[in-house]
Amino acid sequence: MEHKPQTDISTLGEFGLIRHLTENFPPRNASTLKGVGDDAAVLDYGNKRTLVTTDLLLEGIHFDLTYVPLKHLGYKSAVVNFSDIYAMNGRPRQITVSLGLSKRFSVEDMEELYAGIQLACNIYGVDLVGGDTSASLTGLTISITCIGEGEEGKIVYRNGARENDLICVSGDLGAAYMGLQLLEREKHVYAGESDFTPAFEGKEYILERQLKPEARKDIIAELDKRHIVPTAMMDISDGLSSELHHICTQSHTGCRIYEERIPIDYQTAVMAEELNMSLVTAALNGGEDYELLFTVPLGSHDEVAAIPGVHIIGHITAPSLGLYMISRDGNEIELRAQGWNSLSEESDDKTTEASE
């Protein structure tokens, strides 16, 4: 990375830093009556329903700055919150950003982080309306809260799936997890070498899926255009298997999905083979895809099948039938919720993102 002169954050102070980082975030939404600069943001939604989600990201747990550029981190930190709002069939409108900073970070570092946040806000039409900063002894901590709106009667929860509903996913699965494995592999190979060149050629897609994911506002727009309101929906942050468990448990149902219908990108498959890893395991349990998993009534088959990027992978069953995947050779494999848990002992040596 190009070396630039660094400005100590203490030269600006807490409020000066906030002003410096947020002065180029003009409001885009009529619902934003007051943003940064007062004791609280003021929002007006009229007859809309307000949706709120938050994520806490810790250096060394959720991200590794050895290979995650700060601008990408800022973008991803914002987008994963937008994804939660879209997963409720809502629209993100505002965010607040709070940071814990150790002394090793400069003003220029934070400018890079906020450049990523601003890019995400510009693309998704979201306003930055506040936040906080504090000193930290443990590196970088990022806490983002996203506020969105949803229409009465159109907000989608996890508990609405019904027997015979179709199970659908957007995009493809497992790419973000394989991108993380690639980054971790190259980090270990690098080991501080000054002239090291990582082997990323031909793997750009899985790297982007890990470092710069996108929230599927396009799928939400298509569903709305076709007057389809899913019966249940959530985004895939912890892995397909875990999210199916959430929906089926809260909806009191079972499910059947089909291995051959799970969408997987070519680069994901190549990386899994290169690392001698199970491709289906990456798709089921890898997480961080931020694709949408949703259910629709059987009668919506033709409409939902016509949406670009949506794949029908199975159906909802009676709860007594359990949660199973039908393998390519016709065997039933029980689905287990094995998404990453940041509070488990097994996760201590992992660096990835898992949010609900």
Strand segments, DSSP code E, in the chain are 32-34, 42-43, 49-58, 91-101, 127-135, 141-150, 166-170, 232-235, 254-258, 292-296, 310-317, 323-326, 332-334
Residue range 160-176, pLDDT digits in tens? 999 999 999 999 999 99
Say what the pLDDT of residue 239 is: 94
- As given in the structure block, the two tokens for residue 311 are 């794949």
Q: Residue 356 pLDDT more than 50?
A: no
Question: What is the pLDDT confidence band of residue 144, given thresholds at 50, 70 and 90?
Answer: very high
Q: Residue 15 pLDDT more than 90?
A: no
Closest listed residue to residue 93, CA positions, set 50, 151, 140: 50
Say what the pLDDT of residue 30 is: 87
> CB within 8 A of 26, min separation 6: which ones?
none
Residue range 245-265, pLDDT digits in tens? 999 999 999 999 999 999 999
3-state secondary structure of 343: coil
What percentage of the chain exceeds 90 in pLDDT? 75
Between residues 14 and 10, the one the model is more confident about: 10
Q: Which domains, from first to last, does the chain contain? A: 9-150 (3.30.1330.10), 166-347 (3.90.650.10)
131: left (phi over 0), alpha (psi -120 to 50) or beta: left
Residue range 112-143, pLDDT digits in tens? 999 999 999 999 999 999 999 999 988 999 99
3-state secondary structure of 81: helix
Q: Residue 8 pLDDT more than 60?
A: yes
* Highest mean pLDDT out of 50-59, 191-200, 314-323: 314-323
Residue range 277-303, pLDDT digits in tens? 999 999 999 999 999 999 999 999 999
Say what the pLDDT of residue 42 is: 80
Say what the pLDDT of residue 184 is: 93
Strand order from edge to edge, sheet including 127-135: 49-58, 141-150, 91-101, 127-135
For residues 156-162, average pLDDT: 96
Question: What is the pLDDT confidence band of residue 35, given thresholds at 50, 70 and 90?
Answer: confident
Q: Residue 226 pLDDT more than 80?
A: yes
For residues 70-92, average pLDDT: 97
Question: What is the pLDDT confidence band of residue 346, given thresholds at 50, 70 and 90?
Answer: very low
